[in-house]
Structure 1
Amino acid sequence: MSRDADLTRRRFLGLAGITSLAAGLTCATGAAGYFLLSAVRRSHGAADPSPTPRPLSLKQIERPVITSRTDWGAREPNHEARNESGFYSLLNEEGWREYEGDLRATYTTVVVHHSVILETADDATMREIQDLHMDDRGWADIAYHFGVGTTGAVFEGRALDVRGTHVEGANTGSVGVVFFGNFEETVPTAEQLGAGEDLINWLALRLELTHLAGHMDFNDFTDCPGRNLSYYLEALAQSAGLELGTGGYVEPET
């Protein structure tokens, strides 16, 4: 990222006066994901491996349309979950952790996943993921902060001011974004890539993120987010002005 672009980004963030990002997840306007969409259309399904990132602009910091938990039918968190029981403390480090203060001081990295699960409707996929995470894996809520459907719909997952459970050893301070589908076997849709790009651009600017990584970059025991989505990670990172990889991840102080 150039010095001028970085200054522009920081000036905007300073003017925005972000004090509670989680409270801002209730209303805003959307922005079209032209960068990856055009790459997909040019190549009929394969992105240009060396795309030119579109410049950061005021349009790209508009909050995309996000379906609320209420609207997709989310369950309430279960604070008696067997693997995320109670609330975080020095004696219960695996408990439900709510971040305090400015979230820009907490987050550094967005981590991209694929769901493997895919229902006929995007909202049904989101509910199925939550059921799996709460009932089978014993977590208090869905692991991810956001979901990106095949139609381009974006869904609010776990509250952004709460630690996720989406990447072993690096949950604290990382944003979890899941794309619906099994991308070892299929490819993401153009609508999905465009919506994911807009979401990640917005998160990068609002949280002053520095890096983007795939789940497997942190945990080598998984193929997530699948080879057909991993192919696009460099383009997603470039579009948001982020570096690709785990190098920026620093766990916040206890």
Structure 2
Amino acid sequence: MSQHAEYSRRRFLGLAGITSMAAGLTCATGAAGYLLITAVRRSHGAAGPTATPRPLALKQIDRPTIISRAGWGAREPDHEAENESGFYSLLNEEGWREYEGDLRDTYTTVVVHHSVIVESDDEATMREIQDLHMDDRGWADIAYHFGVGTTGVVFEGRAMDVRGTHVEGANTGSIGVVFFGNFEETVPTAEQIVSGQRLIDWLALRLELTHLAGHKEFNDFTDCPGRNLSYYLEALAESAGLELGTSGYGQPKT
């Protein structure tokens, strides 16, 4: 890890220590976003692992503030897209798939990505990602279900009840979250980590997820989500009460 990345991590963890653990755990969407990451990092010190707070044991995790598709100016899906044409069937397995039934019976794993591209502001980045996926890659819509901007703003991407196109060979039953940035070269902001953690904590509870993985754990041909974001995956997983890795991935349970 670069010195810049290590400095950013220390700064983030320094901010985390401002509020007491007791106060943080009263609200899953408040200071706990900092505190749970801090606790995870401290739990792997010289004295060995210790108990880590798990949001899934809390009574409630409120839905984080999420900018809707209309709010960031999303395009409508194109169901004639070259590489995701038409609708899913046994004869068209790569088509647009809308999940049926309870989403808790479908999803097992949240997959973390980085966008590589970053525009002048977060909304512009979200639109550019969608344009790239639809116009250059021939998909019907943006590949990811959520985006986490550099300012910590969270964006709605593809609807949760629609299969994404973010992991080769493992899209069915995985939910895609992209952090804006190229984290092979830069580091995520503290705001991104906190907002991303809140989002993943909520998704884990809402969808009864079991695992979290980085993109490259499924597809070894990519560096995504970059080494400087990969550094946080263990903490994000433990915060949400998830196991790290691909072993929980599977096709829909129904």
TM-score by length of 1: 0.82
Tell me the alpha carbon deviations over residues 98-123 of structure 1, each in whole angstroms, 9 at most, x when there is no partner: 00000000000000000001012101
Correspondence 1:54-203 to 2 at 5 A:
54-56=53-55, 57-59=58-60, 61-203=61-203
Give the whole-Å Cα distance in 2 for the aligned partners of 1:65 and 1:81: 31
Letter in 2 for 1:151: T
The 1-side partners of 2:127 and 2:252 are apart by: 30
Distance 1:64 1:35, change over 3 A: closer
Superposed CA offset, 1:137-186 (max 9, x none): 00000000000001010000000000000000000000000000000000
Q: Could you tell me how far apart the structure 1 residues matched to 2:33 and 2:72 are?
A: 28
- Contact map agreement 1:30 1:62 (CA 8 A) in 2: yes
- Answer yes or no: is the 8 Å Cα contact 1:53–1:235 preserved in 2: no
Query: Contact (CA 8 Å) 1:79, 1:86: kept in 2 or not?
Result: yes
Q: Percent identity?
A: 76
CA distance in 1, matches of 2:145, 2:192: 16
1:243 Cα offset (Å): 0.1
Is the counterpart of residue 243 in structure 1 residue 249 in structure 2? Answer: no
Alpha carbons of 1:38 and 1:99: their partners in 2 closer, same or farther (altered >3 Å)?
closer
Partner of 1:50: 44
Opposite residue 176 of structure 1, the aligned amino acid is G
Quickly say closer, same or farther: Cα 1:30–1:86, change in 2 above 3 A. farther
Q: Given residue 99 of structure 1, which amino acid in structure 2 is its aligned partner?
A: Y
Output the CA distance in 2 between the equivalents of 1:119 and 1:180.
9
Residues 105 and 253, structure 2, Cα contact 8 Å, conserved in 1 = no
Q: Distance in 1 between matches of 2:111 and 2:42?
A: 22
Residues 103 and 33 of structure 1: CA distance in aligned 2, closer, same or farther (over 3 Å): farther
CA contact (8 A) 2:146 2:157 kept: yes
Which one of the candidate residues 20, 32, 36 is aligned to 1:34? 32
The runs of 5 or more residues in structure 1 that have no matched partner are 1-28
1:196-215 alignment, distance < 5 Å? 196-215=196-215
CA separation of 1:30 and 1:36: change in aligned 2, threshold 3 A: closer
- Alpha carbons 2:33, 2:195 under 8 Å: kept: no
CA contact (8 A) 1:144 1:164 kept: yes
Distance 1:70 1:183 in 2: 28
Aligned length: 220
Indicate if the aligned counterparts of 1:49 and 1:235 stay in contact, CA closer than 8 A: no
Residue 196 of structure 1, CA deviation: 0.2
Q: 1:177 to 1:49 in 2, by over 3 A?
A: farther
Question: Does the 8 Å CA contact 2:217/2:245 hold for their aligned counterparts?
Answer: yes
Provide closer, same or farther for how the CA distance between residues 137 and 213 of structure 1 changes in structure 2, counting only shifts above 3 A: same
Measured at CA, do residues 35 and 67 of structure 1 come closer, stay the same or move farther in structure 2, by a change above 3 Å? Answer: closer
Q: Deviations over 1:210-236 (max 9, x none)?
A: 000000000000000000000000000
* d(CA) in 1 for partners of 2:223, 2:123: 24
Q: Residue type of the partner of 1:53?
A: T
Shift of 1:34: 3.4
Q: How many Å apart are 1:38 and its aligned residue?
A: 7.7
